[in-house]
Amino acid sequence: MNATHEKLREEFDAYVAEDKKIEPKDWMPDGYRKTLIRQISQHAHSEVVGMLPESNWITRAPSLQRKAILLAKVQDEAGHGLYLYSAAETLGVDRADLIADLLSGKARYSSIFNYPTLTWADMGAIGWLVDGAAIMNQVPLCRCSYGPYARAMTRVCREESFHQRQGYSIMMELMKGTEDQKAMAQDSLNRWWWPSLMMFGPSDKHSTHSSQNMKWNIKRFSNDELRQRMVDMTVPQAELIGLKIPDSDLKWNNETGHYDFGEIDWEEFNNVLSGNGPCNKERLEARNKAHDDGAWVREAASAYAEKKSKK
Ligand code: BYC
């Protein structure tokens, strides 16, 4: 590192430590740029792949109202993907390259979207738990040091809050229903509980990016801190409507003021991350097919843009 570079780095660290925002044209360390491109693009891919398990249920929603709500939610997720790809592009990358990495299987997206949606109750569990976990993780990102990402998160979080409520409302409705409906809701919670806790990432001990990203004010809380908050928030919600969290080690701890909970199956998490989850292959095939089927739209849009710029 030469003297000028070292000085820039010191100024950057001091600026971030004062909780100020970094904007696209500001000087930033290569590592900061790189980690943001990684995180924002993974986040964008998660939104886009996240549409797949739910869109699977749009035609089978049990009423016109539920169909309209689910349709709006899935459209919101497409919108989130677009804001996030735009935020990533402010760091000097090309969206087409990011998407190519998703389609080839090189880039990551959230582990949660590699699980199947087997029943209508899964729309409830996803909204309640998956969007619930997303809010828990993303509200602190509204204060992230990188301006374009923080601003995108503000709008995303407002929409996620509606998503979470609609999911809980589906679970509430089912728990007021027949024995079969209650069993369907419980089965769904049993399948989605642990994968939702895995969304927060590896334990702090095994998290590779946390320590540096917390110094840079990208991350405000560690993976384990946010996971604990999620458990503390969700257990009373489950109890209120008569659902049982599938964890025999779960119990309130008076001393810590938090729930103690069982160990996550990290082998399952690592398996999903290495591409061997229940739906990894299916999700990538569906995204590749959608991309290929949409080629004519991109070609038409580019031809129109070129024609307009010539005029
Ligand atoms: N799944 O050092 P760590 C949504 C990777 S979308 C897959 O702790 P970091 C929604 C991690 O990338 C939800 N990979 O990493 C959409 C890293 O690998 P690389 C997505 C995971 O970045 C539609 C390695 O493990 N939300 O909410 O400090 C419908 C080591 O981890 C996962 C976001 O993307 C995982 N669960 O922390 C409904 C939020 N966890 O890159 C809902 C933004 C970890 O070194 N992202 N990995 O190969 C973040 O806040 C952080 O990136 C994470 C991970 C907390 C996810």
pTM score, two decimals?
0.96
157 lines ligand 1 (CB under 6 A): no
Q: How far is the CA of 4 from the centre of ligand 1 (A)?
A: 34
155 lines ligand 1 (CB under 6 A): no
Q: How far is the CA of 249 from the centre of ligand 1 (A)?
A: 26
pLDDT digits 0-9 by tens, 244-267: 999 999 999 999 999 999 999 999
Treating both helix axes as pointing N-terminal to C-terminal, what angle do 30-55 and 64-89 enclose, rounded to 10 degrees? 160
Q: What is the DSSP string of 183-251?
A: HHHHHHHHHHHHHHHHTT-S-GGG-SSHHHHHHTTS-SS-HHHHHHHHHHHHHHHHHHTT---S-TT-E
pLDDT digits 0-9 by tens, 271-305: 999 999 999 999 999 999 999 999 999 999 999 99
Burial of 36 (0-12, 13-18, 19+ CB in 10 A): buried
Q: How far is the CA of 199 from the centre of ligand 1 (A)?
A: 7
Residue-level pLDDT, tens digit, the chain, 311 residues: 677 889 999 999 999 999 999 999 999 999 999 999 999 999 999 999 999 999 999 999 999 999 999 999 999 999 999 999 999 999 999 999 999 999 999 999 999 999 999 999 999 999 999 999 999 999 999 999 999 999 999 999 999 999 999 999 999 999 999 999 999 999 999 999 999 999 999 999 999 999 999 999 999 999 999 999 999 999 999 999 999 999 999 999 999 999 999 999 999 999 999 999 999 999 999 999 999 999 999 999 999 999 999 98
Q: How far is the CA of 70 from the centre of ligand 1 (A)?
A: 24
273 lines ligand 1 (CB under 6 A): yes
